[in-house]
Amino acid sequence: MLYATFAIRAPSSLAKIGPGFDVTGLALSLYLELRLHRPLEDVVRPPAQFQSQLRGRWRRQPAPRPPGKPHRPRRLLCPPPPRPARLPVETHVHVINPIPLGRGLRSSGAAVVAGVMLGGEAGGLHHLADERLFDFCFMIERHPDNIGATLFGGVVGTYLKPLSPEDVARVEIPLSGVIPDPQPAGTEDTGKQPPEPPVEIGHHIRFPWAKDIKAVAIVPEFEVPIAPPRGVLPETYPRQDIIFKLQRIALLPVAFGQSPPDPDLIYLAMQDKLHQQYRMGLVPGLTGGLLGVCLFGSGPTILALAMDSFEEIAERIIGLFRKQDITCKWLPLEPAEGTKVIR
């Protein structure tokens, strides 16, 4: 029997960079990899067998599910193929994940994008452009800055188009950039043919990035769940805080793309008054004195942009955590290209 083998490589990402709350994302050089091994023969002996294997330090086995109730990612990841979705027997997917879980480096976003790409490749949907795959990713992840950076690579700004009244009425389609966690992203009865999302829900613009700027990620050894960081954000903001944010986000593309980089401009562009200052309190050891750096998403991982002295910068921030008896490691990262299929 002949077999087909390919891999999908999806980068981690930093979302909500600086003042870009739910807008900006940066793909980084730490990758989730899926490796598919399946027979070329188009013969399926029901029920089809699907085997997966997780490798890497940051892995979790999914919780058991009742028969006939696959995990939501497996049910929703794949775009609907032109015929019933059936994987041949002896199909194996190996998952290699070095991305820390629950630390803000968007391992979930990388999994969503890699899963959608896997569905497209395994289902023979090669006619779907990345922009259309973005719509399917958005049905699941619901944060365009997360999946936009991972899918398209580099540093991106994302935005949503207004939905028609008919699309708004569909529970499977996001009503905004973020759906409350208790609300399901899809109904239980979608079956083998899940509803297709509207075309071009989200859009992205790729910003320039000066090659001299590197990313230093400081990763504490604890997790921050999504719900508490969202809960600490106020319902309303003073007008001056909104203006402050708009001014800084207008600087962001220029600050990142200027060569040689201007440290003072980057320092100003990374400031924020909408979410960073509120979420810093959820990360023990951090203080308001860490201006010019930001949290990875909801944290607790810290990003510092630098052109040199990477270890010295990392040790300075790790020292703050050490005072709280929190162990950290640091990773030197660079902007990455988007998700790729490797044959």
Domains 3-206+336-342 and 209-333 share a fold: no
> Are the CB atoms for 235 and 134 separated by under 8 Å?
no
User: Hey, is 96 helix, strand or coil?
Assistant: strand
User: Hey, is 24 helix, strand or coil?
Assistant: strand
Q: What is the pLDDT of residue 4?
A: 76
Q: What is the pLDDT of residue 5?
A: 86
- Report pLDDT digits (tens) over 209-246: 999 999 899 888 876 655 455 567 888 999 999 999 99
pLDDT over threshold 50, residue 317 = yes
**Region for 52 from its dihedrals, namely left if φ exceeds 0, alpha if ψ lies in -120 to 50, beta otherwise:** beta
Q: Tokens for 226?
A: 């999504």
Rounded to whole angstroms, the Cα distance separating 167 from 127 reads 24
Cis amide leading into 284 (omega within 30): no
Kindly report the CATH number that applies to the domain delimited by 209-333.
3.30.70.890
Domain boundaries, the chain: 3-206+336-342, 209-333
User: Hey, is 305 helix, strand or coil?
Assistant: strand
> Are the CB atoms for 89 and 51 separated by under 8 Å?
no
How far is C-alpha 246 from the geometric centre of its chain's CA atoms? 23
Rounded to whole angstroms, the Cα distance separating 80 from 299 reads 34
For residue 139, report the phi and psi dihedrals to the nearest 5 degrees: -60, -30
In angstroms, what CA-CA distances link 182 with 179, 185, 186, 227, 321?
A: 8, 9, 12, 10, 33
- According to CATH, the topology of domain 3-206+336-342 is Ribosomal Protein S5; domain 2 (3.30.230)
- Report pLDDT digits (tens) over 116-168: 998 888 778 888 899 999 988 887 887 888 899 999 999 999 988 887 787 77
For residue 228, report the phi and psi dihedrals to the nearest 5 degrees: -60, -45
Q: What is the pLDDT of residue 123?
A: 77
Q: What is the pLDDT of residue 339?
A: 96
Q: What percent of the chain has pLDDT over 90?
A: 26
Torsion angle, alpha carbons of 179, 184, 185, 187, to 10: -150
pLDDT over threshold 90, residue 205 = yes
Closest to 110 measured CA to CA, from 102, 120, 99, 121: 99
For residue 171, name the pLDDT band (cuts at 50, 70, 90).
low
User: Hey, is 271 helix, strand or coil?
Assistant: coil
Q: What percent of the chain has pLDDT over 70?
A: 68
Closest to 205 measured CA to CA, from 307, 134, 294: 134
Helix residue ranges per DSSP H, the chain: 72-76, 107-122, 130-141, 144-152, 165-168, 227-231, 239-257, 263-269, 276-279, 310-322
